[in-house]
Structure 1
Amino acid sequence: MVRALTGCLLALALTFWAPASAEPAKSLLRVETRYLNAPGRAEYPEAKALVLVDEIGFELQADGSTLFREHDVIKLLSQDGVEEHGELVRVYRRGDERIDVHQARTIRADGTIVEVPKENVEDVPLVPESEHYKDYRKLTIRFPEAAPDHLVEFRLETHKGAAPDRAWWATTYVQNPDPMLSSTFDVRLPGGTELHWRAPGVARSRPQKSQQEGRDVYYWDTGSEPAMEMEPSMPAVLDVLHRIDVSSFSSWEELGQWFLEGWRATVRPNQRVSLKAAGLLPVGVGAREKAQALLAWIGTEKDVVDLFVQEYRPEEPWKLLDEEVLSSLDAAGLAASLLEFAGFEVVPALAFSSQSGTVAQDLPRPSRVQRVLLRVRDTSTQQVWWVDPEHPGELLDYPPSGFQGSGALLLASEKPIMIDLPIAPPDINRQELRVESRVDRTGRAEVGLSLTQFGGSGVLWREAARELFAARRELREQTLDRLFGRMAATFSPRARVHERYFALDPEPGEPFEMAATFIIPGFATMEAEQFELPLPAQYNDRLMELVQEQGSREFPAHLDHPFRDETQIHVVLPAGTEVVSLPPSAEVENDVASFFSTVRHEGDEVWYYSRLVLKKPWISLDEYPKLLDVARQVSTAQQEGLVYKLSPEAEESGTEGIEGDGDVEE
């Protein structure tokens, strides 16, 4: 499998770089004929690249350590393919892993070999400012002369130390967003070792078994696979790609117990953690305020980063108190330790990016876990909250966006249980857009809008606002200039920002607000003595993408969470305007989604209101037509504008624009 897609699934390490020293940098040796005669753009006009060879091997040693072998040959077909495969990137943890690079080269279309020079290899700390994560490093290999019709080839062997309790697992993806022409996978285990495997989507799913030198060998030759057909709002790509999984775990309960043993061994409030928590806890407040105070400290003082490696054992929390940077799992462990000191019941939940029914059919393996969430309970009132360690500054009433309705392995005290995470009502995650628009006789408009985000819809905005608040004033102003400038550009390249407001340092859980006034020349466009004015309603982009989809659908649709988007627009037209046509009203509702819009005008004023509601985050194939019906209604409303024409009296009275506004240079 091409590691550009799955680098976060397998941590790799580099011990030495050994390009072939017997050959000059540009060798005239010819490559195998099958590479030179491989199909190309004529046979695959839509593809960015072709995976010609994908040979993957996995070996389990008697001491529990593992060896992972890769050999890939990729033909580049377009500049997009060059950008995607022209670099080989790995993130690894030095000391626990070692990778031997046996080959890395570019093969020109004429067969000339160009070895990767040493200066094209970069091995740098992933988090240079962190002492605790100093062994996490990023390795980049840049293939020289990568270009359309050229090939890149690499051979790697990765050695990894034994996991706790000598657990092991591995995955190879035999499907790719690019076509794969040949893919094989061999697994070598000490004789008599029990193998658990699954091959979802693989036609040739059963392996050939043999014995070699006292080892059990399993071999899959899956042949060719067409490119993955991407769909709007589809489940996570790595969840649906055809693949082969192998593992030592026989059940999800077994995996949960294995994870829980390591969690309990390290996540506990020792003296240092207890002292820290005691100093953070406010006096005379309720349980929610106490929990929020502890989390606010993590959210303010710590930067949570994605280390792109498998983590299954958190660090002892007391070692992290002075760290400025934390991994997601370590942030979860630190938060749990502080909350447990304060008397809360904290249960880790191994969250997945698929529903529980899908996960239950998959082979248990730690790499299937997307994130470790925390379920927090106030033992006196039984009130339950959730903590997302990647955004630890807020105590959530429901699981974070992207995980509502998805499966999770809840590591309760009795035994791990598979559940679907709770789903918030649409009103919790709502967005309210208010627009006031005043148009002059030339079609120029002054548009004032305010946007308020509630619940999960506002988490990322609140986090970004707090980061901006802590940043230097110059950087903050530059960032806000770019943000509002992009907003203005969605109206017109000539639009400019007149005023702006962005709520800095918002309180956790509070609605997030931003507002702006834009001056937009030519916002109403004239044709055949009539003006057409767009109504700047805002609808969910991912929902709108569904309308563009062609053909049948293979996968269910997945959106982040249920939501309610409301838009209110008030337009003041030039005096004496004659309204020719209004956008049509609409009303459609089913058990998946609903949309309502209405418009009215009186004199020179127009009022528009719309409400879009998504009722569930996961929509099955059977339910999908209902979602598509609502999306089409929204799309129709979005395309229809307000048409009006000026009265003769208004036309004769002058053409001056909105006061105080000069034209804007393009």
Structure 2
Amino acid sequence: MNCIKKIAAAVMVLCLIAITTAPQSATASQVSKETLDLIKKAGDKERYPDANAIVILDKTDVEFHGDGTGTTHNYSLVKILTQSGLESYSDYKIGYYKAYDTVRVEQARVIKADGSAVDVPDDMIKDINSTATEEMNIYEPDAKIKVITFKNLEIGDCIEYYTVDSVFHAPMENEFDGIAGFQSFDPIIKVEYNITGPKNKPLRHMTRNGKVNFAQKEVGDKVSYSWWAENVQRIISEPAMPALQDVATTVVFTTLKSWEDMSRWWNAIAEPKYAMNDSLRAEVASLTADKQTKDEKIDAIYRFVDQKVRYMGLGTGKKKGLEPKPVTETYETKYGVCRDVAALMVAMLREAKIESEIVLTGVGYEVPKAMPVLAFNHAIVAIKNDDGTYRYADPTIKNSTAWLPAVEMDQQVLLCTKKGNTLVDTPHSPAEQNMGTIKATSNLTEAGLFTSEVTISTIGIYDLALRGWVKAMPPAQVKQIWSYLLSEMYPGTRLTSFDFSDADDLHKPFEIKLSYQIDKYPTEAGKFMLMKSPVSLGFFEIISKFTLASASLPERKYPWVLGFSFGADEEETINLPAGLQIKSVPDPVSKKLGPIEYKMIYNTTSSQELAGGGTQIKYEKRLLIDAKQMSPAEYAQLKQVLLASSKAQRGEIIMLRDDQN
């Protein structure tokens, strides 16, 4: 449903600002003819066979004042078509932040199929703590959700609600901005968005991902802006699609003139928080005392903040949900949210004479570059290089060998400086810097016993994923899971040894070593013997196994979001006993399509070339996906590569005994 979103979930909680006028309504127990006519004209499942609900009307009017405060009235009328729709709309939730705004429900009711109405009782309208912040270990009592529970809702009914959101303290004084949605996962018959504001605070705006109608007029010392659309098609959800606001039709609006203005504003908030005390200065001196290079000093400070400061928050100060705590408080308590942790690292770096700044960024969605809006949900650190460029670090990411993981590369950031900066992107992280390397040396005996020693080496996102996974459970459980994976690969496989490197040592790449054996591994097929390279089956390359599971659709309408670039190298050398000859191996495959590279090849070495006799088979595969998001056309190329890989996995090594030759 539509509301003005400042898109700052949890850590930079902002307010929703909007106003609307409901259609004429009768008493609580009576529904107006106007509303009943809207419901009747809307149609039902016959008209919308694939929909779970119909948004009959969503109407919002926003009035803001010169100081950035304002009021929102929102009216919505929704018809429920399926059980899924009923489950989606049985609870309607409105987020707000007590330090900035209040929300009240003027009306909420269920309109039954026969036209009667059942009001939502007061005890079914509740204020609860934001679950999003609690899940992130942020204990913020002012981050609230108003929940309307439509208890008597049934398929064929409608829900109707009318809410008022009053902003009494603007997050950014004297400015107003937001993003209005005109499309959702349900069809919309009519959606309206009206904003009224002072003439001396002109609203800049743009429409993304589609078109809407627009009108503007002046009334005295105010200007009214109106957008509306009718018969809006629903967005059909796809696995691993971008955030809704990145694909839906939206209107972005702001009174801000530039990103530089926002950069200076945040810098003014953050700078006073960097004040040091003797204890913190002594900590920096101790951490950097024996460090010779700039990078060594940066790494020492980064590791201290990353490992010693717990991600946990409790909002304080006038700008609760926005401003960082004093860095001395974060240092003493050893906890904070992203902005607190980033501010502490900036202050410590500056104490070590390393120029740095706090940085705002949006994780999980795209910040609209063309229009400065307060659309951030995370804070990290920018470190100035000698040539004037910047590197970035996120001290809230645990278990990362890199200062900034691949998931935060190719992402919009705003450096908050006294001079003011514009929005830029973090650099790309190539797939080669986020690799898993699986190497196996295997032996097959004349009796059919297959033994193998496997090493899995990691770098970048691969290292972060496996290291974090191992640290999340007892070692015995990790071993048990690998034993299960091997039995899934081939029934009866026995894990004979298992070990992994120190997951707490972030200065060394994480590595897993294991060995296993399989009795009577080759399959007899008449005079032939068949087997596959176990590594080629993909069970050891577990990152691809899980991440590529979302590439299930044959084609897509929206981009496919992987979230990071990554790659994997597989190599297995299989030593065969004397008396076995290779008749054939799977054909090589090589594909380079857009950001995807795939190569697979088998090579054989005959007994004449080996000192100990026998034959050697070497399997090699490389997969590189050098993009964190793919267009539908690039996704089609990925499907070609995955099809080729699937065919290659089905290929068999065909052998023949000398006595059968």
Q: TM-score, normalised by structure 1?
A: 0.76
Q: Which whole-Å CA distance do the structure 2 matches of 1:496 and 1:78 have between them?
A: 49
| 2:21 paired residue number | none
| Residues 450 and 201 of structure 1: CA distance in aligned 2, closer, same or farther (over 3 Å) | same
CA distance in 2, matches of 1:41, 1:494: 52
Q: 1:297, CA displacement in angstroms? A: 3.1
Distance in 2 (CA, whole Å) between partners of 1:544 and 1:285 is 46
Cα separation, 1, equivalents of 2:362 and 2:396? 15
Q: Which residue of 2 aligns with 1:633?
A: 641
Matched, 1:567 2:573: no
CA separation in 1, counterparts of 2:152 and 2:255? Answer: 42
Paired residues of 1:232 and 1:549 also in contact (CA < 8 A): no
Q: For residues 525 and 106 of structure 1, what CA distance do their matches in structure 2 show?
A: 65
Equivalent residues of 2:214, 2:225 under 8 A apart: no
Q: For residue 652 of structure 2, what is the aligned residue in structure 1?
A: 643
**In 1, Cα distance between equivalents of 2:644 and 2:136:** 51
- Asked if structure 2 preserves the Cα contact closer than 8 Å seen for 1:332 and 1:389, the reply is yes
Q: Are the structure 2 counterparts of residues 93 and 130 from structure 1 closer, same or farther at C-alpha, using a change threshold of 3 Å?
A: farther
1:517 CA drift (Å): 5.9
Deviates more, 1:529-538 or 1:385-394: 529-538
Equivalent-residue separation in structure 1 for 2:654 and 2:586 (angstroms) = 15
Q: Separation in 1 of the partners of 2:485 and 2:27?
A: 55
Match of 1:93 in 2: 97
Q: 1:350 to 1:85 in 2, by over 3 A?
A: same
Aligned pair partner of 1:313 in 301, 304, 323: 323
Structure 1's 129 and 429: CA in aligned 2 closer, same or farther, altered over 3 A?
closer
What is aligned with 2:436? 431
Give the whole-Å Cα distance in 1 for the aligned partners of 2:45 and 2:576: 54
Alignment check: 8 A CA contact 2:291 2:297 kept: no
Counterpart position of 2:342: 332
Mapped partners of 2:626, 2:639: distance in 1: 13
Q: Which amino acid aligns with 2:571?
A: Q
Per the TM alignment, residue 239 of structure 1 is displaced from its structure 2 partner at its CA by 2.4
CA distance in 2, matches of 1:650, 1:145: 79
Aligned residues of 1:465 and 1:503 also touching (Cα < 8 A): no
Distance 1:604 1:642, change over 3 A: farther
- CA distance in structure 1 between the partners assigned to 2:258 and 2:525 by the alignment: 67
- Which whole-Å deviations, capped at 9, do the CAs of 1:269-317 have from their partners, x for residues lacking one? 3555434434554535543333333333332333336999995432322
| 1:313-358 deviation per Cα after TM superposition (whole angstroms, max 9, x unaligned) | 32322232344542222222122122222221103344356999x9
Work out which of the residue numbers 349, 353, 369 in structure 2 matches 1:360.
369
What is the aligned counterpart of 1:136 among 140, 143, 149?
143
Matching of residue 61 in structure 1 with residue 101 in structure 2: no
TM-score with structure 2 length normalisation?
A: 0.77
SS in 2 for 1:314: coil
Q: Which amino acid aligns with 1:172?
A: A
Q: 1:596 aligns with which of 595, 599, 608?
A: 599
**Secondary structure of the residue that 2:620 maps to in structure 1?**
strand
Change (3 A) 1:39 1:334: farther
Q: Are 1:32 and 2:46 counterparts?
A: no
Q: 1:193 to 1:285 in 2, by over 3 A?
A: closer
Determine the structure 2 residue equivalent to 1:505. Answer: 503
How far apart are the structure 2 equivalents of 1:518 and 1:122?
A: 56
Q: Secondary structure at the match of 1:32?
A: helix
> Could you say what secondary structure the match of 2:173 adopts?
helix
- Secondary structure in 2 matching 1:402: helix
**Identity score, percent:** 17
State the 1:6 CA deviation.
8.6
Distance 1:493 1:4 in 2: 55
The 3-state SS of whatever aligns with 2:197 is strand
- State the distance in 2 between where 1:322 and 1:93 align: 27
2:383 counterpart (376, 382, 400) = 376
* Correspondence for 1:609 among 611, 620, 625: 620
Match of 2:611 in 1: none
Task: Give the whole-Å Cα distance in 2 for the aligned partners of 1:196 and 1:444.
Answer: 72
- The one-letter amino acid of 2:336's match is L
Deviations 1:505-545 (A, max 9, x none): 33235322345567889998899998674732344765676
Matches within 5 A, 1:16-415: 32-35=36-39, 38-111=42-115, 113-116=117-120, 118=123, 121=126, 123-124=128-129, 126-127=133-134, 133-137=140-144, 140-145=147-152, 148-160=155-167, 161-209=169-217, 211=219, 215-229=222-236, 235-271=242-278, 273-278=280-285, 280-284=287-291, 286-304=293-311, 312-323=322-333, 325-351=335-361, 359-361=368-370, 363-367=371-375, 369=376, 371-377=378-384, 385-391=391-397, 396=402, 399-411=404-416, 414-415=419-420
Q: 1:648 to 1:395 in 2, by over 3 A?
A: closer
Inter-CA distance 516–281: structure 2 relative to 1 (3 Å threshold): same
Q: After superposition, give the CA deviation of every residue in 1:187-244 in whole Å (9 maximum; x if it has no partner).
A: 12134431111122342242343538x6432222222321235567655442232111
> Which of 487-496 and 80-89 deviates more?
487-496
Decide which of 446, 453, 476 is 2:458's aligned counterpart. Answer: 453
**Alpha-carbon distance in structure 2 between the residues aligned to 1:235 and 1:242:** 13
Equivalent residues of 1:526, 1:532 under 8 A apart? no
In structure 1, stretches of 5+ residues that fail to align are 14-21, 469-474, 652-666
Amino acid at match of 1:180: I
User: In structure 1, what is the equivalent of residue 421 of structure 2?
Assistant: 416
SS at match of 1:74: strand
CA distance in 2, matches of 1:4, 1:497: 56
TM-aligned CA distance change 1:28 to 1:154, over 3 Å: closer
Verify the 8 A CA contact 2:120 2:150 in the aligned structure 1. Answer: yes
Q: Does the CA contact (< 8 Å) of 1:207 and 1:219 recur in 2?
A: yes
Deviation of 1:99 after TM superposition, in Å, equals 1.3
- Corresponding residue SS for 2:284: helix
CA distance in 1, matches of 2:481, 2:639: 27
> Do the aligned partners of 1:4 and 1:89 also contact (CA within 8 Å) in 2?
no
Query: Residue 16 of structure 1 aligns with which residue?
Result: none
Following the alignment from structure 2 to structure 1, what is the Cα–Cα distance between the partners of residues 2 and 480?
A: 36
* Residues in 2 aligned to 1:439 and 1:180: alpha-carbon distance in whole angstroms: 64
In structure 1, how many angstroms separate the alpha carbons of the residues matched to 2:27 and 2:519? 64
**Does the Cα contact within 8 Å between 1:174 and 1:222 map onto a contact in 2?**
yes
Query: Helix, strand or coil for the counterpart of 1:54?
Result: strand
Alignment check: 8 A CA contact 2:187 2:232 kept: yes
Once the two structures are superposed, residues 565-601 of structure 1 have per-residue CA deviations (whole angstroms, 9 ceiling, x without a partner) of: 2012345789977767533211233673422210135
Q: Map residues 435-514 of structure 1 onto 2, 5 A cutoff.
A: 435=440, 449-463=454-468, 465=470, 468=472, 476=474, 480=478, 484=482, 487=485, 491=489, 500-503=498-501, 505-508=503-506, 510-514=508-512
Distance in 1 (CA, whole Å) between partners of 2:175 and 2:480 is: 48
Mark the CA change 1:559 to 1:29 in structure 2 (over 3 Å): closer, same or farther.
closer
CA distance in 1, matches of 2:151, 2:446: 59
SS of corresponding position for 1:264:
helix
| One-letter identity of the residue aligned with 1:196 | R
Question: Structure 1 residue 100: deviation in Å?
Answer: 1.0
Q: Which amino acid aligns with 2:294?
A: A
Superposed CA offset, 1:97-145 (max 9, x none): 2111233444555556455452673623754998974433455544425
**Contact 2:406–2:460 under 8 Å retained in 1:** no
CA distance in 2, matches of 1:76, 1:449: 55
**Partners of 1:273 and 1:567 in 2: CA distance:** 47
Q: Deviations over 1:478-513 (max 9, x none)?
A: 874786588468647998877654545332353223
Find the aligned partners of 1:223 and 1:562 in 2 and give their Cα distance: 39
Work out the CA distance in 2 between the residues paired with 1:520 and 1:102. 69
State the alpha-carbon separation in 2 of the partners of residues 97 and 453 from structure 1: 47
> In structure 2, what is the Cα distance between the partners aligned to 1:525 and 1:497?
21
| Alpha-carbon displacement from aligned partner over 1:239-264 (angstroms, at most 9, x marks no partner) | 23211122111222222222222232
RMSD: 4.8
